Structure 1
Amino acid sequence: MTADPTDEAAALVTDRLRAIGGIVFDLDGTLVLGDRRNHGLTPLPGALELTAALTARGLPWLTFTNGTTRTPEEYARTLRRIGFDLPDEAVLTPATSAVDHFLAMGHRSVLVLGGDGVKEPLRRAGIEVIEPKGKPEADAVLAGWYREFTMDDLEAACHAVLGGAALYSCSQSVFFATAEGRALGTSRVICAMISSVTGVTEQIVGKPSLIGLRCAAQRLDVAPQELAVVGDDPELEMAMARDAGALAIAVGTGIHPADRYTGLPPKHSPHLTVGGVGELLALLSTAG
């Protein structure tokens, strides 16, 4: 969809663009691309220019990745090294929203299936991190990026869940975008095994959950419905934006080309589709 003023739908999108109070960007496939282990990140065309222009205009933005290979601070340092001008607070991961949710729910001990990218934010918030060994007791089990997953991990996690721990997933997406094409995530695979054994269904703390978007909205000090959410996945960013009443903007630089977004059900459809984030700068300028 373009911002043609003769097109009523496009005019409505232009009005929405004019009214947004902040932007939540996906990372992989939207602002950057990396390898299958989420390393070697490279800015996508227009990403540096767009984010710099938003900062200059005073329009707040952040990036929310479902990746948990790094802590939010490590992601921020990596992004600064490749040219993005952003503070640590402008990067969120599912560990960030998990902390907010766990504290609100009273979860004080969490068995973590993942690395330091998941564990460190919890520890800094005063949440006890339980290792997946033996028959542990915990308030919750949280699955993140964890390719080292073993049968011993599975057994420990199942004992914790059968003992009453709530089950959480950082991401239930099957794939994420890399420079080498689609790569398989781990959280969904891990939770599928635990759920199959225990009969307990996971809750998502990353995208597309409203737990995640409310966390982002709070960081930006903007109501969720006043946000624009920019991403490459109909089932993640588009669904999250639609669920919250935010503006959904799809890019064609990630796991789906731009024409993939046509004909989707309303809950997964973007309000606006662009080839890449570089096109947004002109549209935002047009919208004023």
Structure 2
Amino acid sequence: MDGTIALGDSKSGGHRALPYAIAVLETLKAAGTPFVVFTNGTAKPPAAYAQSLRNAGFPVEDRQMLTPSSSAAIWLAKTGLTKVRVLGNAGCAAPLIDAGLEVVGPSEAAEGVQAVYTGWFREFDFDALEAGCHSLWNGARLVTASNVPFFATENGRAIGASYPINAMLTAMTRKRPRILGKPSRVAFETALGVMGLPRSAAKHMVVVGDDPALEMRMANDAGALSVGLATGVMSVDADLPEHSRPSCLLADLEPLLTTLRGG
């Protein structure tokens, strides 16, 4: 989302549409083509992100908006890890609570924690670090929304919260995080499910994004078409490894809009 169709607007606290982005989604909607918007941010619940995009002019329904916590909730429930310490804010925890998981607060005393889930948490402190470490030392699995250091904003790149939190937890416990947001297969298959598509549809999917380590890698790993944009983290002259290299790299969304309109 950020750097692909919109950028965070610090003045309004919402989002500002990037050129041609609203028209792309309107064209998809008019054609009846299923799509989802998948942000790797967890600062807000999915419905709040959807509302922010609608305020910016995007035709996005709540059900079409996904965050890593959307896919994390599904995976944790399927795996049977139902007691989860969330090192994240309320927006990060909301989809897990909605899925019926038992959510433990960042520094809350608790026994029997089965997983520690990291996400957007700028309020992270030593108490949360210590509580998370104790849960991991006692057998909990470490899972995360995202493990990339940066994301795109209107003022350039910003530091993602979960990356440094994961680094501290791994340094203290030697446990490495399993990623449940992009670029994981869990995230990709969650998107397929929301669109009502079978796994076999992956080769017919198009994934559009600005981050080679996230959307491009996810698409390439799943066998989908990867369309990169130089409107966020990625640059037009980026020298990328094959697994993170887009099938095509665009300066903006205009060529994609032209293609969708049959031009």
TM-score range, shorter chain: over 0.9
**How many matched pairs?**
259
> 2:76 is matched by which residue type in structure 1?
F
Q: CA deviation at 1:208?
A: 0.6
Q: 2:2 aligns with which of 19, 25, 28?
A: 28
Unaligned ranges ≥5, structure 1: 1-26
Equivalences for 1:14-53 in 2 at 5 Å? 27-35=1-9, 39-53=13-27
Q: CA deviation at 1:130?
A: 0.4
Equivalences for 1:72-221 in 2 at 5 Å? 72-133=46-107, 135-137=109-111, 138-221=113-196
Q: Distance in 1 between matches of 2:233 and 2:10?
A: 13
Match of 1:230 in 2: 208
Q: More relative contact order in 1 or in 2 (CA 8 Å, sep 6+)?
A: 1
Q: 1:273 aligns with which of 240, 246, 249?
A: 249
Instruction: Pick which of 107-116 and 215-224 moved more.
Output: 215-224
Q: TM-score, normalised by structure 2?
A: 0.94
Q: 2:217 aligns with which of 239, 259, 279?
A: 239
Detail structure 1 runs of 4+ shifted over 4 Å in the superposition. 35-38
> 2:74 is matched by which residue type in structure 1?
D
Question: Residue 107 of structure 1 contacts residue 139 of structure 1 at CA under 8 Å; is this kept in 2?
Answer: yes
Unaligned ranges ≥5, structure 2: none
Q: Distance in 1 between matches of 2:14 and 2:60?
A: 19
Question: Residue 27 of structure 2 contacts residue 260 of structure 2 at CA under 8 Å; is this kept in 1?
Answer: no
| SS of structure 2 residue aligned to 1:213 | helix
% identical aligned pairs: 42
Q: Distance in 2 between matches of 1:167 and 1:136?
A: 16
RMSD: 1.6
C-alpha change, 1:38 and 1:231, in structure 2 (3 Å) is: farther
What's the CA shift string for 1:97-122, capped at 9, x where partnerless? Answer: 00110111001111001111111111
| SS of structure 2 residue aligned to 1:132 | coil
Q: 1:264 aligns with which of 230, 240, 250?
A: 240
> 1:88 is matched by which residue type in structure 2?
D
Q: CA deviation at 1:141?
A: 0.5
C-alpha change, 1:134 and 1:87, in structure 2 (3 Å) is: closer
What's the CA shift string for 1:222-277, capped at 9, x where partnerless? Answer: 222321110001111100000000000000110122222xx422101111111112
Q: Distance in 2 between matches of 1:36 and 1:141?
A: 30
C-alpha change, 1:84 and 1:132, in structure 2 (3 Å) is: same
Question: Residue 114 of structure 2 contacts residue 139 of structure 2 at CA under 8 Å; is this kept in 1?
Answer: yes
Q: Distance in 2 between matches of 1:36 and 1:216?
A: 28
| SS of structure 1 residue aligned to 2:128 | helix
What's the CA shift string for 1:24-75, capped at 9, x where partnerless? Answer: xxx0000001157993310000011110011001111111001011100011
| SS of structure 1 residue aligned to 2:14 | coil
